[in-house]
Amino acid sequence: MADRYLAFATGRIGARLVRRLGLPAPAPLQRHAAGQAVARGPVVLGHAGRPRAAKAVRTVLEACGAPVEEHAERPAALVFDATGVTATDQLAELRAFFQPRVRSLQPCGRVLVLGTPPGAAGTPGGAAAQRALDGFVRSVGKELRGGSTAHLLQIEPGAEEALESTVRFVLSARSAYVSGQSLRLAATGPVEVPADWDRPLAGRTALVTGAARGIGAEVARVLGRDGARVVCLDVPARSAELEELAARVGGSPLALDITARDAAPRVAAHLGAEADGGLDILVHNAGITRDRTLGRMDADRWDAVLAVNLTAVERLTEGLLPVLRGGGRIVATSSISGLAGNAGQTNYATSKAGLVGLVEALAPAVADRGITVNAVAPGFIETRMTAAVPPLVRQAGRRLNSLGQGGRPVDVAEAVAWFASPGTGAVTGQVLRVCGQALMGA
């Protein structure tokens, strides 16, 4: 369903009225298009102390064709290397760098702060200073206007050369609906650099569950766009939609119920017949809702949601690990409901929180094979499901985030594709909220 308020607030007359009345003023977000540059204009770099990542970031920007200008009047991005901050008095450098520049950001600009995980800071003062960066970035994200976003990238010592994929993602339009989040790069050793950053998944096989419609269909499309051969899986009742999607993305359809006991061997058999037996990317997107308050929650509603959203994910992952190639990627779809809770969704929130636990436990267990395990946590995304909620609830979901609007399925898909990239091998065991910096659970 179209966001009529967004269309009104960005029109000539509506924009003036919105400003006069002090109403929410969301801005149209710029999303990725083929051939689009990573940064849409000059980037200004700053640092404090003895930075560890400034040289690597500059190299990445040069590879992206992004001009670095010290005195850009209308920068597309402001990047500050705070990895060298070892004491709280050095935090004054943040204000000194951003205060005179932040209001000159282009529409849909980017703020990126590079830091060190507090546990790796070495001293209590250093840990305090590094932890402070999280509060800074979250607050900046809520102050930015015009569709601009803010990110914190915590880089373990030794992981500086592994940041290209992540910097490309957070500075580009691919991260349009992600803001105020912290990401961590682990020192895992060298990561694979894609030969073609426009098709980083070329030669890889992906499986997407719940692919027939909504977010799943968009994930399949974006992975296909990035070069993957996609096996599109959904329930038999959606076979027609599944076949149409598979034909459109150049993949293959697989109709089955993931809660079936034989789901994993059937998927493995399909991979053997259609995709040379191996798997590189496993995307757990299938999910259902059966909402009721706890006092009205019957066992059938509870069991159905847990079976699809959590138990099937656990079983399918365990069954497919033997065919998941080294360097593989597992991405689960959680939800901000699983992180913050939501009235009327005890079953759904339980299942989505359980996925986070699965990701955190599985990531170190498969790290020796170069496999990463992560999750996306969508907020209010414009889908058939959200179009069916009551109008007032829908409007609240759209406005109660820093960007003042709902996201699109492509926003989640771009995050999944970034996790799936071979260049993102230093990111694992993490949950990325794709929610426009929703106020719920912030």
Distance CA 297, CA 217 (A): 30
- Of the pLDDT bands very low, low, confident and very high (cuts 50, 70, 90), residue 108 is very high
Pairing of strands 149-155, 181-185: parallel
Q: Which of 3-12, 285-294, 297-306, 396-405 has the lowest mean pLDDT?
A: 3-12
- Of the pLDDT bands very low, low, confident and very high (cuts 50, 70, 90), residue 277 is confident
**Residue 108, number of CB atoms within 10 A of its CB:** 20
Q: Residue 199: pLDDT above 80?
A: yes
Q: What is the torsional sign of CA 195, 200, 202, 207? A: positive
The answer to whether the beta carbons of residues 364 and 321 sit under 8 Å apart is no
357: left (phi over 0), alpha (psi -120 to 50) or beta: alpha
Question: Backbone phi, then psi, for 124, in 5-degree steps?
Answer: -60, -40
What domains, with CATH codes, occur in the chain? 4-26+39-185 (3.40.50.720), 205-434 (3.40.50.720)
Catalytic pick among 5, 136, 177, 348: 348
Q: Residue 333: pLDDT above 90?
A: yes
pLDDT in tens, 11-40: 878 878 878 877 777 889 999 998 899 998
User: What's the average model confidence in pLDDT over 110-138?
Assistant: 97
Q: Residue 442: pLDDT above 60?
A: no
Distance CA 257, CA 247 (A): 21
- Of the pLDDT bands very low, low, confident and very high (cuts 50, 70, 90), residue 286 is very high
Active-site residue flag, 348: yes
Share of the chain above pLDDT 70, in %: 99
pLDDT in tens, 79-104: 999 999 999 999 999 999 999 999 99
What residue spans of 259-345 are helical by DSSP H? 263-274, 299-306, 312-320, 336-340
Contacts of 126 (CB under 8 A, 6+ apart): 85, 86, 87, 116, 118
Query: Does the predicted model carry a pTM greater than 0.85?
Result: yes
- Structure token digits, residue 383: 């889908």
Share of the chain above pLDDT 90, in %: 82
Q: Residue 190: pLDDT above 90?
A: no
Distance CA 398, CA 383 (A): 12
Q: What is the torsional sign of CA 72, 77, 78, 79? A: negative
- Of the pLDDT bands very low, low, confident and very high (cuts 50, 70, 90), residue 384 is confident
- Give the single-character DSSP code of 172: S
